[in-house]
Amino acid sequence: MENIVEFKNVTKRFKDFSLENFNLQIKQGYVTGFVGANGAGKSTTMKLMMNLLQADEGEVKIFGMDYAGNEKEIKERMGFVYDSNVFYESLNLKDIRRIVAPAYKNWNDKTFYNYIKIFELPLNKAIKTFSKGMQMKASMAMALSHDAEFIMMDEPTAGLDPVFRRELLDILQELMEDGKRTLFFSTHITSDLERIADYITFIQKGRLLFNDSKEDVQDRYALVKGSTDILNRETEELFIKVERSSYGFQALTNDAREIKALLGDRVMIEEATLEDIMFYAKGAKKQHV
Amino acid sequence: MINLIRRDLIIQKFQLYVFIPCILFFIFFGSHLSAFFIFVFAGFFIPINAYSYDEKAETNILLNSLPYTRTQIIASRYIGAIFYMTVSIGIAVLLFYVFNRPFTWADIAIGVGITLTMFAFAFPLFYLLKPGHIGTAVTIGFILLVILMGPVITFFEEYLTPAVNFLSSVSTSLLYLSSVGVITVLYAASWLISQVIYQRKAF
Amino acid sequence: MGMENVIELRGVSKALKAFTIDNMNLQIKQGYVTGFIGANGAGKSTTMKLIMNLLQPDKGKVSVFGLDYANHEKTIKDRIGFVYDSNIFYESLNLKDISRIVAPAYKHWDDKQFKFYVKQFELPLNKAIKKFSKGMQMKASIAIALSHDAELIIMDEPTAGLDPTSRRELLDIFQEVMVDGKRTILFSTHITSDLERIADYIVLIDEGQILFDKPVYELQEQYAIVKGSTELLDADTEAYFIKIERSPNGFQALTKDVAKVKEVFGEHAVIEEASLEEIMFYMKGADHPYD
């Protein structure tokens, strides 16, 4: 299995935030979802991936290549969607195509116009008159029209209604069918990831908490409910965070198997959604989730 | 690279429609203006206007996400500026010719020289500034210019006569040649500085 | 006192350039959380602007707290808290200054409450709003909306751009705010799982028309996704469904009459709970969504 993206001990420091000693691998042929709180470092990571930022220390490799000397070749094979509109606001899609298309060797006009049709986008209206959803669709059409092997998207589904989100996810799933493409996208709508992601990358305060397959995450993590009698120093070790109330406790574990073996039928074990995991991990004492 | 330069035309379609009428306006109603001043205006118009589109962070994110290198993006700015300046001044000269307004080769040379010098100072300064602050910088620059104009003129009145005397003592061809040399060095240095600044820029 | 309507739109029409609302009727009940859903451009923001009197109807009546805007604009707005989906505060000011501008506008401004939310949301008081992230701006709007003891809180996509953890915290706060039963919340969102968490009523709008306005439990009871072999479908049975999708493996459809489907198909079909997202998805392409 090949890694499309590889971060080795990457450090990037800002005034009020830093990414420290960050390691990340994104596997070829899969959809990887990127989650984390606002300000956790998702956009920084993606900008490092696009060489919009350069690492202070460490190595960023895309398609096994360094940006130094291979910038054009790497970007030729990448598609990008940002969470804000990056296209000239006063231009229409026709003109933007005339700027973007010649930049790529593999630009395909037929594919592009096909997406424009599917997305019901007007070609002659200035981008600034587009709604947020339409702007997002326009970015997607650009990103998908040059046969990119790696597509990176920063919150592509933000601001889109559920119906369109579902259509979009279907289109992305279709794209993945030949197994050659890789998709990496960040989102706050975790139900979208539960729908299409194969891997989940979870970042918190500039540190990677996990980067595992969705099945793995589902197997390991669980919500545990029970009476507070069970809690002692030893059992608490099994939980990432414990919330107590007068009825009992509720906690997140990343070792569901051990809990089952140890506490068995004295507790209720429920599946933890990604949202649950994020919620409990936020206030957790242990950071090695 | 050519695509990057062509982009300047696409993004300012509207301004291009304004360009020729503007020059015509100067030709008909600006008879008190020296020809070289109109050439400077013509040469400056499109490249600087294109630049104002590129000051936005989003635009830089776009350009840097497309398969272009930062070196290319800067190069397109500097080569494009020369190209558009040449075409614009060419058009202006043509219009002068058509409407029978007098001008000399010296007007063209001085126009080109001043335009390039202005680019050489403006571009690195703009790349150095944070996006969104260019408007402010231009305003402050203008105010400074107004304030400093007086003292500068007195300064020149005092020293200009010996300077002119000196310049008229050297041969014209030598004068032109050395100006070309100075401007080329300025422009190249500016290019280099912009590249260094842009290379380290974070978006 | 029976159930009261905090907001009432009666026969409201509004023609905008690219979009019209025609003869809209809508009641929002006091003491409940109503979720407002619909595709982008369906008319959610326009409806909310009509409720806030930012737009005036061409025809029909909008009343809030049983009062009309023509005579009671100040009284109404004093009792409403609002959160829009874009930042409406002066970008270069900090929260302290903004609270100084907003506070005197309300009779019941509670500075202690405001400081409490600012602390809870971890917002800086001395930083310009333009330096806030989208999520922080949203939280700032919400802090202001909740600090003048408003009876009606109207929010246009308050959870957009927020990460799941902040979203959940926010929903918990909304739930707390609702505890005394006097308050009413109306909010639009694209994240339907948030509504499944806290909404009592759901209003679905499409192309300027209210498709339904129902309590959540009723939706859960009546609507379902039905899967089965296409052999089950004929002119009679197709009438039970809002929309049917056929594939080589069978059909999948949305019904709003689970009882009937169960009775007719019995064990031959698989019946699953329909999420709000699925209801929206199927209703969008429906041939007869209004019956």
Note the ipTM here: 0.77
∠ at Cα B30 (B26, B35), nearest 5°?
80
Touching check for C11 and chain A: CB below 8 Å? no
- Are residues A235 and A115 both part of a single domain? no
Q: Which of A192, A217, A242 is the last residue of a domain?
A: A217
Which partners does chain B have (≥3 C-beta pairs < 8 Å)? A
pLDDT, average across residues A187-212: 91
For the domain that residue A110 is a member of, what is the CATH number?
Answer: 3.40.50.300
Closest residue to A166, CB basis, from C133, C276, C277: C277
- Are residues C155 and C197 both part of a single domain? yes
- Are residues A124 and A7 both part of a single domain? yes
- Are residues A7 and A61 both part of a single domain? yes
pLDDT at A158: 82
∠ at Cα A186 (A184, A192), nearest 5°?
95
Q: Is residue A274 part of a domain?
A: yes
Structural domain containing residue A155: 3-217
Question: pLDDT confidence of C290, banded at 50, 70, 90?
Answer: very low
- Are residues C244 and C120 both part of a single domain? no
Touching check for A106 and chain B: CB below 8 Å? no
- Are residues A186 and A267 both part of a single domain? no
Q: Is residue C15 part of a domain?
A: yes
Q: What distance in Å separates the CA atoms of residue B123 and residue B117, rounded to the nearest whole number?
A: 10
Asked if A76 lies within 8 A of B67 by C-beta distance, the reply is: yes
- Are residues A41 and A78 both part of a single domain? yes
- Are residues A240 and A137 both part of a single domain? no
- Are residues C147 and C277 both part of a single domain? no
- Are residues C207 and C230 both part of a single domain? no
Q: How many CB pairs under 8 A join A and B?
A: 65
Write out chain B residues lying below 8 Å of A88, CB-based: 11, 53, 59
Question: pLDDT confidence of B81, banded at 50, 70, 90?
Answer: very high
Instruction: Give me the residues of A, 189-218, that contact B with CB < 8 A.
Output: none
Distances (CA, A) of B35 to A2, B23, B92, B97, B201: 65, 11, 10, 12, 39
Touching check for B66 and chain A: CB below 8 Å? yes
Residue of C172, C220, C223 whose CA lies nearest to C198: C172
Asked if B11 lies within 8 A of A75 by C-beta distance, the reply is: no
Q: Is residue A55 part of a domain?
A: yes
Q: Is residue C289 part of a domain?
A: no
pLDDT at C287: 58
> In this structure, are residues A162 and C277 in contact, taking their beta carbons and an 8 Å threshold?
yes
> In this structure, are residues C115 and C85 in contact, taking their beta carbons and an 8 Å threshold?
no
What average pLDDT does chain A have? 89
Domain count, chain C: 2
B and C adjacent (3 or more CB pairs under 8 angstroms):
no
Name the packing angle between helices B35-54 and B70-98 (round to 10°): 150
pLDDT at A230: 84
Q: Is residue A287 part of a domain?
A: no
Chain A CA closest to residue B72: A72
Question: pLDDT confidence of C12, banded at 50, 70, 90?
Answer: very high
> In this structure, are residues B183 and B116 in contact, taking their beta carbons and an 8 Å threshold?
yes
Largest CA distance in chain A: 68
pLDDT, average across residues A41-70: 93
In percent, how much of chain C has pLDDT > 90?
38
Q: What is the pTM of this model?
A: 0.80
B and A adjacent (3 or more CB pairs under 8 angstroms):
yes
Which partners does chain C have (≥3 C-beta pairs < 8 Å)? A
Domain count, chain A: 2
What average pLDDT does chain B have? 82
Write out chain B residues lying below 8 Å of A76, CB-based: 67
pLDDT at A50: 93
- Are residues A160 and A257 both part of a single domain? no
Q: How does DSSP classify residue A56?
A: S
Q: Is residue C291 part of a domain?
A: no
pLDDT at C13: 95
Residues B84-128 pLDDT 10s? 999 999 999 998 889 888 888 888 888 898 899 989 988 888 888
- Are residues A46 and A100 both part of a single domain? yes
Q: Is residue A146 part of a domain?
A: yes
Structural domain containing residue C272: 223-284
Residues A137-184 pLDDT 10s? 899 899 999 999 999 999 888 878 888 888 888 888 888 888 889 999
Touching check for C43 and chain A: CB below 8 Å? no
Write out chain C residues lying below 8 Å of A161, CB-based: 38-40, 42, 190, 280
- Are residues A230 and A158 both part of a single domain? no
- Are residues A26 and A139 both part of a single domain? yes
Question: pLDDT confidence of C1, banded at 50, 70, 90?
Answer: very low
Of the listed ranges A81-95, A217-231, B147-161, the one predicted with least confidence: B147-161
pLDDT at C2: 44
Other beta carbons within 10 Å of A115:
19
Question: pLDDT confidence of C158, banded at 50, 70, 90?
Answer: confident
Residues C256-280 pLDDT 10s? 999 989 888 888 889 999 989 889 8
- Are residues A106 and A145 both part of a single domain? yes
- Are residues C250 and C107 both part of a single domain? no
DSSP B114-167: HHHHHHHHHHHHHHHSPTT-HHHHHHHHHHHHHHHHHHHHHHHHHHHHHHHHHH
pLDDT, average across residues A39-63: 93
Q: How does DSSP classify residue C166?
A: H
